[in-house]
Chain A
Amino acid sequence: MLNTLADAGVNHAIPLHWFLIVAIILFAIGSAGVLARRNALTVLMSVEIMLNAVNLVFLAFARQWGDMHGHVMTFFVIAVAAAEAAIGLALVLGIFRHRKNVNLDEMNALKN
């Protein structure tokens, strides 16, 4: 049904810059979370928000150009996000086991 809508030429009912603005806001929220929060799990979730914002830009430009390559890139971003979440959570788990803490300020074993 969506494809018939696209064929009828109403595909650009939503202007591109609206998507870009939403993506910028989401990216800003995510990076503020990475900068400000000190809970390792919340920081990992903020990174996911940032990846999502980038996906939105890829898909918005894919629609604008009528070109599917942005969808493939989004697919790769989702795959990398899955790998990153698995490794990141394993690291948090390992650090918690040793130090009984998930605060990023406390993770300074390599300092000095």
Chain B
Amino acid sequence: MGFEQILFWLLAIGAIVTSALVVLPPSGKNPLYGALFLIVSFFFMSGVYILLFAHTMAILQILVYAGAIMVLFTFVIMLLNLTKKEIGDETRTVAKALGIVAVGVLGVKTILMVDSQSVAIIAQPIPAGFGGVDAIADLLFKNYLIPFELTGLLLFVAVIGAVVLAKRTL
């Protein structure tokens, strides 16, 4: 295995383990542990993005996800300062167990369905400047101008909605 492949598996296994720790019960007792594991997971994921020549997206991942969204999460978790009673019980029902089994079966089945031969055929050479800010800005401001502006509108609506929802009295 080459250097890149070893690096990929280190980053991927790191991302999977930290994501699993977000979901597993020990961090569910206090969601703050889950939030911190999720930040670590986002850093691993951005490493994987760099291996995909998506360096701009890797930086955005750290800036927006690990920087902005997760700060919001940790802020809210610390603001709520939940006690054990407020978090409530994690019920163990048959339906829930069946759901997890179904997700597991679906995951294994999909992994088995990934055909390494047929997906490798479509490999195209990577053009110069791939994944850079220039190329993304070119697409965003030419092909995707209207969706891009609508994204701004969406964030604006989301901010107003969040303020209205979280305000004590309007």
Given contacts A3-B132, A20-B119, contact A42 B23 (CB under 8 A): yes
- B50 x A2 contact (CB < 8 A): yes
B57 A71 Cβ-Cβ under 8 A: yes
User: What interface size band does chain B fall in?
Assistant: 35 or more
Q: Which residues of B contact A21 (CB under 8 A)?
A: 111, 114
- Inter-chain CA distance A45–B125, complex, in Å, is 36
A78-B61, A102-B88 as given contacts; A66 in contact with B15, CB under 8 Å: no
Query: What is the interface of chain A mostly: helix, strand, loop, or mixed?
Result: helix
Q: Is the CB of B162 within 8 A of A89?
A: yes
What residues on A are CB-neighbors of B88 within 8 Å? 38-39, 101-103, 105-106
A-to-B contact residues, CB < 8 Å = 2-3, 6-7, 9, 11-22, 24-33, 35-39, 41-42, 44-46, 48-49, 52, 55-56, 59-60, 62-69, 71-72, 74-76, 78-87, 89-94, 96-97, 100-103, 105-106
A-B contact pairs, 24 of them (CB 8 A): A3-B132, A13-B5, A16-B116, A16-B123, A17-B119, A26-B16, A26-B19, A29-B23, A36-B100, A39-B28, A45-B31, A52-B65, A59-B52, A63-B130, A64-B122, A65-B122, A66-B127, A68-B131, A78-B65, A82-B69, A86-B72, A89-B76, A93-B79, A93-B166
A-binding residues in B (CB < 8 A): 2, 4-5, 8, 12, 15-16, 19-20, 22-23, 27-28, 31, 34-35, 38, 41-42, 45, 48-57, 60-61, 64-65, 68-69, 72-73, 76-77, 79-80, 82, 86-91, 96, 99-100, 103-104, 106-107, 110-111, 114-116, 119-120, 122-132, 135-136, 139-140, 143-144, 147, 151, 154-155, 157-159, 161-163, 165-166, 168
